[in-house]
A and B are shown apart, each in its own frame.
Chain A
Amino acid sequence: MVTMSLSKDLVLEVRGVSKSYTSGGKVFEVLKDINFVVGREYITILGPSGCGKSTLLKIIAGVEKPDKGEVVFNIGGKVRIGFVFQFPTLLPWMTVLGNVTLPLIAAGVPKNDAVERARRVLKIVGLEELDDFYPSELSGGMKQRVNIARALAVEPDILLMDEPFSNLDPLTAENLRSEVLDIWSSSILPIKSVIMVTHNVEEAVLMSDKIIILSPRPARIVKVVDVNIPRPRTRKMTEVQELVDRVYEYVS
């Protein structure tokens, strides 16, 4: 097993993150003392529905504040984050191209460069022909591709994905999974780490380098499993099947 040299390969560190919500006078503890490090790798956060995985992802993205703890980035300059939403979250009044360029324009990228970059990522996700379509004219799988393209367009250091394949039909999900892996392994984009949230054990084993398994609410880390299976992985590989079984034991 390769030992990670922390100083160089460390991308971000989640330190002692806790979070609770108050609703109707009751306090719900969502996350309890979460600690882990992320290197240059594909990480999956696995846990039952409603355990606070998405909250953790939003804390890493910086749009939610933890009650305790912090997220430390080991990246010089401003951290660029791409976020793939669980539901495509496309603005219905903008074309595909408009939706993908919006974050770039917000970041101050000149219009022409933004369009050029958007076209490039749309080509990567296979939507270059559809850039002047409106979201309502697209299928669910296409919308999710736009969602992914939008996250890739910002040329993120860290790509965060919130159950990106959970609302797609199995065939489309399968195709998109392998495309995301292709993009990740081909390093055509400068993505240092991917953090994906899922409740699908098989998906976690097939895609990631490391699986962080969370308990039901309040979520704590039950186990961190390294996945040292060579890629490309398929469901039929015995290693994959064995690991899936093992991970299921931790989950249940």
Chain B
Amino acid sequence: MTQSIEELVVELVVSTLLSLERMFVAYLLSLLLALVIGVVMARNKYVESVLLPILDILQSIPILGFFPAVFLIFINTLGPIVGGELSSIFLIITSLIWNMIFGVYSSIKSLDPSVDYLARIYRLSSIHKFLYIYVPASRSSIAANSIVSWAGGWFFLTSAEVLSMGKTEYRLKGLGSLIIKAFEDGNTTLYIAGLLTLSTVIIISYLMIWNPFTMKYTDTKILLGFMRIYNSIDRIVSKTWGSIAGKLIMMYNFIKSRVGSTHTVFLILPILSIQYLLYPYPKNLYGVDYSILSKVLRYGEDFLLEVPNTLIRVYSVVVVGLVISVLLAYISHTRFRVGKLVVMSGEVLSSIPAMIWWPILLPLLQGFPYVVMGFIYLQGSLWYTFFNILIFGLSNLKGNILEFSRIYGIRGVLYLSKVFIPSLLPSILAGGLSASGGAWNASIAAEYIAFGDLVVDMGGVGSLLNKQAMAGDVLGILLTSLFMSLIIVSINKLVWVKVLRRISGYYVVE
């Protein structure tokens, strides 16, 4: 099948816009939810005591495992078009939202109590408190977490656009599904064009949105700041925004003058959904047969047989990720310029979706399957420790500690063990906690890799979940995910949280 250039471009542009829209809707919903949930949780003890453990579980369970079930529920109740789109957005949200909620929650929690008195003495209403205190107070953590989340969202885009459940496969039009399809069809031109478009979109959204946003609201000036051309990029960015905003305001005023302001929003929303009418989806949805009578015990046995494999892999990956991150942190800390470069490379590398690596990884798959598995594991977990330690952690190493170390000549190993690592400890632990959640989730993608006829099965719980999904075994998926969540939550509660509680209060330098 040959396509004309024109068709190819239209295909690419439409797919990109659809994917972008999905990402934005998911991001905005996550942002709104994160702000509301985070603030309420931080401000209301009852909500906190109920939600904190629930969110903790939701954050650490493998969403990918639960996903086929959610997908089925959405499709069955809402029909394929709306249901498919909603499941896709739902999946993206589940990869964006958790760190954002915890970011908002911890910034509000750490707010100076005198701000609370201020709000009460001057009788600020809830809305005023939300707008003038809580939202701006969480700006910097929202900014920092948005980068991680946005990257994570692109990373999951393929899974979110190619929804599969046993024999049922359902593709949403978008950049992720386009790239996969091009790869499967062996359409190299489209595949490369897709990857290039994807990278361009990621870089542009980073330059246009996240970099200016983080520069404005966090103290970290290290993102991208090292580039000589940065200033000119910055100028172009603000100019572009200026003209876009100008055009939008003109448009808005034009519509408003015709229909009045409240109706304008309702007018814009349908415009966004028109595209779904223009690009109807193929209807290739079959019923799935699965038997609920399968024995729970057998699933438990399967799970217990597979879990040691995954357990060892997950926590080795977390340790490797921590070592890498601390090393990189030390290098960035001692060599400022290198540091900027490291963080910036991290930004870009972390948002590159897994599929871009396939052309490199596929040849390795036959000879070195462990390398490929380790790579996918790392890609799903390293970034949590990386960003936590290099952005939050390093900014905690405040000037006075550095001065103190310099004055008393604390250097080398002594500096590393008594000053550097202890100051990073809160972020090492927080990052490690998220990273282990990420690694568990990554096990699903890492332990069972199928590309065309090539199937590499490394065993483990992730592989088990994959096989159950292939067989359309919903009960199996649910039970296996539940067992897995149980293990993760117990480890978090028994080990991680205890350590975290022990060090909090000791390791925060004021």
Contacts and interface: CB of A to CB of B under 8 A. Distances in A.
A80 to B, nearest CB: 10
B137 A85 contact: no
A85 B136 contact: no
Contacts of A105: 128, 132
Given A89-B115, A93-B137, A102 B132 contact: yes
Most chain A CB atoms below 10 A, which of B114, B117, B133: B117
Contacts of B137: 91, 93
A63 interface: yes
Nearest to B127: A106
Given A102-B122, A102-B124, A91 B133 contact: yes
B123 interface: yes
Most chain B CB atoms below 10 A, which of A83, A85, A89: A89
B121 interface: yes
A91 B132 contact: yes
Contacts, number: 47
A61 interface: yes
A58 B136 CA distance: 26
Given A93-B137, A93-B139, A105-B128, A85 B122 contact: no
Contacts of A62: 121
B112 A89 contact: yes
Interface string A62-105: 11000000000000000001010101010101100000001101
Interface in B104-140: 112, 114-115, 117-118, 120-125, 128, 132-133, 136-137, 139
A81 B118 CA distance: 11
Interface residues of B, number: 17
A252 B197 CA distance: 77
A117 B128 CA distance: 19
A82 to B, nearest CB: 9
A154 B122 contact: yes
Report the contact-size class of chain A (Cβ under 8 Å from the partner): 10 to 19
B114 A89 contact: yes
Most chain A CB atoms below 10 A, which of B114, B115, B118, B120: B118
Contacts of B136: 91, 93-94
A107 interface: yes
Given A91-B132, A93-B139, A106 B112 contact: no
B121 A83 contact: yes
B120 A91 contact: no
A59 to B, nearest CB: 12
A83 B124 CA distance: 14
Interface of A: 58, 61-63, 81, 83, 85, 87, 89, 91, 93-94, 102-103, 105-107, 154
Interface of B: 112, 114-115, 117-118, 120-125, 128, 132-133, 136-137, 139
Given A58-B117, A154-B122, 11 more contacts: A62-B121, A81-B121, A83-B122, A85-B114, A89-B112, A91-B132, A94-B132, A102-B122, A103-B122, A105-B128, A106-B128
Which 9 A-B residue pairings sit nearest by Cβ, starting from the closest?
A: A103-B122, A93-B136, A106-B124, A89-B114, A63-B120, A83-B121, A106-B128, A89-B118, A106-B122
22 contacts: A62-B121, A63-B120, A83-B117, A85-B114, A85-B117, A87-B114, A89-B115, A89-B118, A91-B132, A91-B137, A93-B137, A102-B122, A102-B128, A102-B132, A103-B124, A105-B128, A105-B132, A106-B122, A106-B123, A106-B124, A107-B122, A107-B123
